[in-house]
Amino acid sequence: MVVKIGIDVGGTFTDFLVSDETGDTGIFKVLSTPKDPSIGLMQGLEEIATARGLTLFELLEQVDTIVHGTTVTTNVALTRTGARTGLITTKGLRDALEMRRGIREEQYNNRFTNVPPLVPRYLRLGIEERLDYAGEVLEPLDRGSVEQAVAHLAREGVESVAICLMNSFANGSHEQETARIVEQKLAKAFLSVSSAVLPSIRFYDRVSTTVLNAYVGPKLAAYMQSLISKLELAGYRGILLIMQSNGGVVTPAVARGKPAMTLLSGPAAGPGAGLIYTEVHGRNDAITVDMGGTSFDASLVRDGVPLTMNEGSIGRYRLALPMLDIVTIGAGGGSVGWIDEGGLLRMGPQSAGADPGPACYGRSGTAPTCTDADLVLGYLDPDFFAGGKLKLDFEAAKQAIAEYIAAPLALIVEQAAAGMYRVINNNMAHGVREVTVKRGFDPREFPMVVAGGAGPIHACMICQELEIPFFIVPRESSIFCAAGMLLSDLRHDFVRSCVTPLENLDRERLRSLAEEMVSEGRQVLISEGIPPERMVFAPFLDMRYIKQYHEVTCAAGLDEIRSGRLDAILAGFHAEHNRLYGYSLEDEGTPVELINIRIRATGVTEKPTFAEEAAAGASADEALKGQRSLYVPEAARFEDVSVFDGHALRHGHRIEGPALLEQINTTIFVSAGYDVHLDARGSFVVYRKGYEMGCGGG
C-alpha cells in the first residue's frame, strides 16, 4: 500500500488528508500547537496510525510522500520574532529600507506612521562600491569597507545577513564577492543575497524582499531541522515537500535556501484544488474560498490557471516574489464580535484562535465569536462538533453574546447572534469582490468551491449576496488546502530585468535571458529528481505603456521568444490591459515597454486519484437524522429544519432547502433559497432554486 499525506498547519487546526493508491481518502484534524507546529503535526500522524490500526512506524513505512504547508515564516514576519538581522548595502542607501517608496500608505492620515523596519538603523551598513543601471562598474568594491561592516555585525551578534547593492540585478559580482567575505567572517550566519533572491529592478522591493528572506530564514531552518529529525526518528524515509506561496512545492533544501518563498503560503494550495471539484461539471474555472478558525481566504482560477501576482506585502512589509493572488481577511470561526465607538457591530479581525478559543469551547475563553453565534443559531450540534470529540458549551456561548453584544445593542441573544452571522457574511462577500470585481471579473460567472470547517455554514448567504448561482462543498472541505497540497507540482519562478521599448528590443538578449533561466530551472528540477519529460517551462513578460508606472504580466511562448516574433504577445498585452483597466492604447500607437522577463519552471508530480461513486437514487431519506430548530435567514426566524447525516449521503441524492447536512469535520447549511445534490465525486453541489445545473455528474 502506497500512501500520500497532505498536511496544512493552520492557526487553529492542523489538517491531514491521507490518500492511498486505490483512491480512498481519510480526513483528520488536530488542534495546532503554535509554539512548535511540529508537535501537533506528529500528534496528527499518531492519530492517523491509530485509526488505521498501525503503529506510527508502520504507517510511515507505507507513506512515500508528505506535502507540508507551514505558517512558520508567516507567523514570524507578522509577530516580528525573526532573527537578529543585519543589512549590507551600497553607501548612502541604508535608509531606503525605512524610506520605502517615499509614498505614505494612507496619504490623508496625518498621524500615519510607517511600520518599523525589520533591521534597525545601526545594523544597516553602507559599503564603498557602485554600479550603473547596466551593471557597469563605476566604483570598484572596497573589500576593506565590507570587512569593517562584517566585523561590526559580528560584534552585534547578528544571526542573519542581507546583502542588497544598487543595480546588482544587472551585475551580481559585487554582491557575490561581499557574500564570500561574510561567509568567511560570519560562517554561522544565515545569508540572503538579492541577486539570488530577486534579480529585478526597483530597489526598495528588492531590499525589502531580501531582508524578509534573511529575517525568517533561521526560524524556518530550525523548524525544518526539528521536523525532519522527528520524522526520521519515527522511521520516515519518503519524500518531504514544502508548500510555496506561488502554489507549487519544493524540497526542504530549496525552502531553507530561499525561505521567503514560503511566506503567505498557507492558503496557496487551495486554488489548484478547486479545479478537481469543478471539472466534473465541465468547468475549468472557480472562485475558491476557505474559512478556517482565524481567517477567510478567497482566490480565483480562470481557464484552469490560478491568478498570480508578482508583489504583495506581509505585515506591511513589501514582498516582491511571485505568489497566488489570494485575498485574506480576518473572518474565521474564531473571529471575535465587538461593538465599535459608533455603536456598530463588528466581526474580527481579531480571533480567539485555538487557545483559549471561542467561549463555547469551554477553555476559559469569554469573547463572543462566529462559532458561538453559529451554535446559538442552531447550525452546530453541541454534542457532535468534531464528531463529538469536542463538546460545545451552549450556555457559555449565550452568555458571551449576551454580555458583549446583545446587552450593548439592547437585543435578545438570538437577534445578536443573527446580527453577528450577517456581518461576518458581508465581510466575506467583500473579500470575494476583492478577488473578482476588483480584478475585472464578474463573480456571477464562476462557481464557488467552499472549504474550511466553518465555510459551508455561511456559503449560501455569501452566494446570495453576490448572485453566484451555485457552489460546491467537497467531501474534503474541512481540509481543503491539505488536499490541494497533494495536487501541487514542483514550481520555481525566475526573473530578469530587461527594460527597453519593444521597438528597440534586442531580441537576442531576450532569448539569452530566457535560456539562462530555463537552464537554471532545469538544474533545480534535476536536483529534485524530476525527469526531463516532466519538466515544463512557461515564460511571462512584464510590459507597460511608456511612462506608466505599473506593468501588466502576459503569458508568452518559448517559441515566440526564441524566434523573436512578439506580435501575438503584444496583442495579448493590449487585450489584458483593456480587461484590467477598461482601455488600451493600441489604436493610438502608444509604444510598449518591456520591464521583466519571467520563467516558471514546473516539475509535474504524480497526483493521487479520487474515486467516483456509483449513482444512487434521488431520495435521501435514509440519511435523515431528525429535525432541529435553527435560524433561517430568508424568514428571519427559527424554524424546524431537517438534519441529514452528510456521511450517509451518496451520488445522486437530492435535498430541498432549508436543510442541514452534518459531517464530522464540517456542517453545510442549505438555506431556504437553495437546494443540494451530490455529484459523482461525492461533493455537495448547492444551487439556487430553479437553476439548471447542466452537466455535472449529479
**DSSP for 15-46?**
EEEEEETTS-EEEEEEE--TT-HHHHHHHHHH
Task: Tell me the three state secondary structure of residue 538.
Answer: strand
| Residue closest to 478 by CA, chosen among 311, 300, 646, 234 | 646
Main-chain phi, psi angles of 284, to 5 degrees: -120, 30
| Set of cell numbers at residue 293 | 478558525
Q: What is the distance between the alpha carbons of residues 598 and 540, in angstroms, rounded to a whole number?
A: 5
Task: For helices 72-79 and 203-233, give the axis angle rounded to 10 degrees.
Answer: 130
Residue 698 is predicted with a pLDDT of 47
| Residue closest to 464 by CA, chosen among 448, 480, 476, 451 | 448
Residue pointed to by grid coordinates 533561466:
517
Residue 531 is predicted with a pLDDT of 94
| Residue closest to 454 by CA, chosen among 364, 351, 539 | 351
Instruction: Look at the chain and count its residues.
Output: 698
Comparing 55-69, 375-389, 500-514, which segment has the lowest mean pLDDT? 375-389
Question: How would you class 679 by CB atoms within 10 Å of its CB: exposed for 0-12, middle for 13-18, buried for 19 or more?
Answer: buried
Residue 696 is predicted with a pLDDT of 47
Check if the beta carbon of residue 253 is closer than 8 Å to that of residue 225: no
- Is the four-CA dihedral 451, 456, 462, 463 of positive or negative sign? positive
| Residue closest to 322 by CA, chosen among 136, 64, 565, 494 | 494
Comparing 19-28, 93-102, 241-250, which segment has the lowest mean pLDDT? 19-28
The kind and range of the H/E element at 74 are: helix 72-79
Q: b/e map of 449-469 (b: 16 or more CB within 10 Å)?
A: bbbbbbbbbbbbbbbbbbebb
| Set of cell numbers at residue 694 | 447542466
| Residue closest to 488 by CA, chosen among 300, 231, 270 | 270
pTM of the entire predicted model? 0.83
Q: What is the distance between the alpha carbons of residues 373 and 379, in angstroms, rounded to a whole number?
A: 9
Domains 3-76+222-262 and 490-603 in one fold: no
Check if the beta carbon of residue 358 is closer than 8 Å to that of residue 382: no
Residue 487 is predicted with a pLDDT of 84
3-76+222-262: what CATH class? alpha beta
Average pLDDT value for the chain: 91
Comparing 272-276, 488-492, 499-503, which segment has the lowest mean pLDDT? 272-276
Residue 340 has pLDDT above 60, yes or no: yes
| Set of cell numbers at residue 419 | 446580527
User: Hey, what amino acid is at 366?
Assistant: T
Q: Are strands 448-451 and 470-473 parallel, antiparallel or unpaired?
A: parallel
Q: What is the distance between the alpha carbons of residues 278 and 67, in angstroms, rounded to a whole number?
A: 23
Residue 693 is predicted with a pLDDT of 67
| Set of cell numbers at residue 613 | 461513486
Check if the beta carbon of residue 380 is closer than 8 Å to that of residue 390: no
| Residue closest to 625 by CA, chosen among 647, 649, 638, 642 | 642
| Set of cell numbers at residue 271 | 486554488
- CA 300 to chain centroid: 12
Check if the beta carbon of residue 21 is closer than 8 Å to that of residue 1: yes
Maximum Cα–Cα distance across the chain: 82
| 676 to 428, 476, 694: CA distances (angstroms) | 22, 17, 14
Residue 120 is predicted with a pLDDT of 96
First-to-last C-alpha distance (Å) of the chain: 31
Residue pointed to by grid coordinates 480584478:
439
The kind and range of the H/E element at 174 are: helix 173-185
C-alpha dihedral (361, 365, 366, 367), degrees to nearest 10 = -90
Q: What is the distance between the alpha carbons of residues 418 and 297, in angstroms, rounded to a whole number?
A: 23
Q: What is the distance between the alpha carbons of residues 89 and 96, in angstroms, rounded to a whole number?
A: 10
CATH code for the structural domain at 280-332+425-485: 3.30.420.40
Q: What is the distance between the alpha carbons of residues 302 and 283, in angstroms, rounded to a whole number?
A: 10
Main-chain phi, psi angles of 42, to 5 degrees: -70, -35
Check if the beta carbon of residue 615 is closer than 8 Å to that of residue 698: no
> 88: pLDDT confidence band, cut at 50, 70 and 90?
very high
Residue boundaries of the structural domains of the chain: 3-76+222-262, 82-215, 280-332+425-485, 353-422, 490-603, 621-688
Which letter does DSSP use for residue 614 in this model? P
CATH code for the structural domain at 490-603: 3.30.1490
Q: What is the distance between the alpha carbons of residues 231 and 366, in angstroms, rounded to a whole number?
A: 37
Which letter does DSSP use for residue 691 in this model? -
Task: For helices 394-401 and 413-435, give the axis angle rounded to 10 degrees.
Answer: 80
How many Cα atoms are found within 13 Å in the side-chain-facing hemisphere of 512? 7
Q: What is the distance between the alpha carbons of residues 307 and 246, in angstroms, rounded to a whole number?
A: 10
Instruction: Dump pLDDT digits (tens) for 529-578.
Output: 899 999 999 999 999 999 888 899 999 989 999 888 888 889 999 999 99
Q: What is the distance between the alpha carbons of residues 604 and 488, in angstroms, rounded to a whole number?
A: 8
Check if the beta carbon of residue 212 is closer than 8 Å to that of residue 263: yes
**Mean pLDDT of all residues in 119-131:** 97
Which letter does DSSP use for residue 378 in this model? T
| Residue closest to 668 by CA, chosen among 630, 612, 615, 618 | 630
Q: What is the distance between the alpha carbons of residues 625 and 609, in angstroms, rounded to a whole number?
A: 31
Q: Are strands 335-339 and 345-351 parallel, antiparallel or unpaired?
A: antiparallel
% residues pLDDT > 70 (the chain): 99
Q: What is the distance between the alpha carbons of residues 698 and 682, in angstroms, rounded to a whole number?
A: 9
Q: What is the distance between the alpha carbons of residues 380 and 391, in angstroms, rounded to a whole number?
A: 11
Q: What is the distance between the alpha carbons of residues 267 and 243, in angstroms, rounded to a whole number?
A: 9
- Cis-peptide, bond into residue 591, ω within 30° of zero: no
Instruction: Dump pLDDT digits (tens) for 234-270.
Output: 999 999 999 999 989 999 999 999 999 999 887 888 8
Question: How would you class 613 by CB atoms within 10 Å of its CB: exposed for 0-12, middle for 13-18, buried for 19 or more?
Answer: middle
Q: What is the distance between the alpha carbons of residues 448 and 127, in angstroms, rounded to a whole number?
A: 53
State the Cα angle at 28 between 27 and 31, rounded to 5°: 150
